[in-house]
Amino acid sequence: MNKNELVNNISEKSGLTKKDVELVVNELLDQITEALKKDEKVQFVGFGTFETRERSSRTGRNPQTGETITIPASTVPAFRAGNKLKEAVK
């Protein structure tokens, strides 16, 4: 499912216009992004938690040349599923 399909499904089930639903979905994603930029967690009880994790630097290889390179440390977004979501997917 992509974002347009999600907007269409929510619009059909809620009776709201696609424009209103798209506005809410976009704002939700923007708020999650802003919180993660500030290194804050976003938790939806039962669904899951969006958070950031630190990746340490490591060595790798350039696949074209085979040369050893150092991959720098970075901060990456992560999602940890909640219990209700895990049970629903089983």
Length of the chain in residues, anyone?
A: 90
pTM summary value: 0.82
Between CA 13 and CA 6 the distance in angstroms is 11
Helix (H, G, I), strand (E, B) or coil at 16: coil
For the chain, strand residue ranges (E) read 42-44, 48-55, 58-61, 68-71, 74-81
Do residues 26 and 36 make contact, with C-beta atoms less than 8 angstroms apart? no
Q: Give the pLDDT confidence of 34-87 residue by residue, as tens digits.
A: 999 999 999 999 999 999 999 999 999 999 999 999 999 999 999 999 999 999
